[in-house]
Structure 1
Amino acid sequence: MEKQAITIYDVAREAKVSMATVSRVVNGNTNVRGETKKKVEEVIERLGYRPNAVARGLASRKTTTIGVIIPDVTDVYFSELARGIDDVAQMYKYQIILANSDESNAKTELVFESLLGKQVDGILFMGDMLDDNLRAKFAASNVPVVLAGSVDVTGNAASVNIDYISAVAEVTTRLIKAGHQKIAFVSGPIDHSINKDFKLKGYQQALEVAAVPFDESLVITADYDYQSGYQLGKMVQSVHATAAVVVDDEMAAGLLNALTDDGVHVPDDFEIITTNNSHLTVITRPQLSSITQPIYDLGAVAMRMLTKLMNDEKLSMNTMILPHGYVKRETTK
């Protein structure tokens, strides 16, 4: 037989007090006599009563839940971001509702509306796709939205990220100084703002400063996964590239293995730099050189920003830029 959940009514009846008194005890209200408080707490413990977060928030209009929209729960970059979010959420006593958007704007809109229907207090958005329609929905929402590791080209949305333009420009410059003139830019879909307006721009800036002509055939796009990266191996070779900047670690791992299987020696014949420095970069052989970024911190800081907005606190800055760096491993000379 299914066990019935213990309710606030059961506690009130057992303790012989009103439900309002139980509510005051649960919410830490000091306007309860010590003897009564002790009696209610003993009943709560004995019955195993666990207050429902949504029910507790009805009076205050808060549910102590936040929605987290993640593009791919299997992606190591976003899962590390989510870990930073979860740790800070627990610190501030918030529960997380995780929603997968499958890198689809249409599905993102659906899960966004679904989270609003669950009366979350705020939403954290992770992903590379942020179009005008979705941006308008965020702006019109009655709960705050913060972007974690994502960018808003308008600069209007609260966000935490790194300086993607500078980061990609710096590693592209490294490859140019190493003697490469034909550097592939291996990217996810180029219509994603983070690729088109930030990472590609950094790549182009480095070429321009070094007076290296921009060759559109060296901009190679696919999905953000290992198999897509692997399938790009022959395409990268066909455009006679001698190095690549790759925007995703899984793609970089796939490209590395494809080149190795084709007898291309990395880094002697071809150099690769990836951008996320997830744990995948040290699993591959050779290990991947990478831009470094504080992935966990991106999530943690974004969650802290959201707690401030949910409490009507003013942010010191709308866009928080965290530091990035570079780690040389075995895919560069």
Structure 2
Amino acid sequence: MQKKSSATIYDVANRVGVSLATVSRVVNGNSNVRESTKRKVLDAIEELGYHPNAVARGLASKKTTTIGVVMPDVTDMYYSELARGIDDVANMYHYDVLLTNTDEDPVRETMAVNNLASKQVDGIIFMGNELDREVLNTIAGADAPVVLAGSIDAEGQLPSVNIDYVKAVEEAVDTMVKNKHKRIALVTGPMTHAINKLHRLVGYQTALEKADIVFDDKLLFVAHQDYAAGLQIAEKILAAEADGVIAYDDEVALGIMNYMREHGKRIPEDFEIITSNDTKFTIVTRPELTSIGQPKYDIGAVAMRMLTKLMNNEIIDDTQVKLPHTLERRGTTIN
């Protein structure tokens, strides 16, 4: 029998001679249908080529089996690895994923959360370095649970999955101190972002204090998250007579390294570099970049698993999850 190209739930109901409600119960897995009737409905669905619409199913089940992901930059390797972990676990639990790119623009982030909520997604995962007040208010008004992946809100109110950024930066600085460096620069994103001011900077200052090194704000730099910004900020780092740098982004670290080498600095003998995201960029360069190792896939996967529990109203013992990090020692540090 030839399948209809656009069969509807009405066609299935007419074929079997049952109500729309019965077809809906079968589609949504409701057990309150006789086995013989269920078999007939499923056979009709197969014969007619009926594909239930997720939104239509949602009207009956209160669920769309769809989650939204707000992503700052789909081309960034760090976020794409997080997204892969999210997508794999979403598929495991039979959720579709709607991905939105925001270029880390608060206006677009607010629009993205609103748009996803209007599509009646069952939950949202938010990635990005900052949540401004408008974004937080929009999230609070969304009729769906939200989990942060690799993101931090200053108050720590939203469920999140991260590493301990304070400890990670502290350990990176400790490594350079042990290698006899005393003028260690820190490159972050804007200090208005909680992840930078309340975490990376705190780890940096804690390590300096332990080593009896006086904090010098002339060694604190803010750079955009790309290679060109690394090249630009490197000139200022060189002028500040720094002998090492902790960078918050791999592309930024690459720009700094290439600039230093072009200006006569030997890496790592004269100048050490530790980056933070441990993407593929760190191993395709020469020398390879020492990096804070983040379990990026796991951050995404654990965030998605937490979201499934929230969507099912399950009790979660810990909504502020910190996964273990490492320090991947490579060619831009002496040891």
Q: TM-score range by the shorter chain?
A: over 0.9
* Aligned position for 2:90: 89
Q: Counterparts of 1:187 and 1:328 in 2: how far apart (Å)?
A: 21
Instruction: Give the aligned residue type for 1:18.
Output: S
* Aligned position for 1:255: 256
* Aligned position for 1:112: 113
* Aligned position for 1:325: 326
User: Percent identical across equivalent pairs?
Assistant: 53
Q: Offset of 1:4 from its aligned partner?
A: 5.1
Give a deviation string over 1:130-157, Cα, whole Å, max 9, x none: 1233223323332111111111221111
Q: Offset of 1:16 from its aligned partner?
A: 3.2
* Aligned position for 2:166: 165
Instruction: Give the aligned residue type for 1:316.
Output: D
The 8 Å contact of residues 113 and 142 in structure 2, kept in 1 or not, is answered as no
Q: Counterparts of 1:26 and 1:138 in 2: how far apart (Å)?
A: 31
* Aligned position for 2:276: 275
Runs of 4+ in 1 over 3 A off after TM superposition: none
Give a deviation string over 1:198-249, Cα, whole Å, max 9, x none: 1111111111111111111111111111121122222211111110000111
Superposed counterparts of 1:126-275, under 5 Å: 126-275=127-276
* Aligned position for 1:295: 296
Instruction: Give the aligned residue type for 2:68.
Output: G
Deviates more, 1:137-146 or 1:71-80: 137-146
Q: For residues 37 and 60 of structure 1, do their structure 2 counterparts lie closer, same or farther at Cα, with a shift above 3 Å needed?
A: closer
Instruction: Give the aligned residue type for 1:119.
Output: Q
Instruction: Give the aligned residue type for 1:156.
Output: Q
**Alignment pair present for 1:312 and 2:313:** yes
5+ unaligned residues in a row in structure 2: which ranges? none
Q: Offset of 1:19 from its aligned partner?
A: 1.9
Q: Counterparts of 1:265 and 1:8 in 2: how far apart (Å)?
A: 70
The 8 Å contact of residues 274 and 289 in structure 1, kept in 2 or not, is answered as yes
Give a deviation string over 1:64-106, Cα, whole Å, max 9, x none: 1111111111111011001111111111111111111211112
5+ unaligned residues in a row in structure 1: which ranges? none
Q: CA RMSD in A?
A: 1.5
Q: Give the TM-score taking structure 2 as reference length.
A: 0.95
The 8 Å contact of residues 114 and 142 in structure 2, kept in 1 or not, is answered as no
Instruction: Give the aligned residue type for 2:73.
Output: D
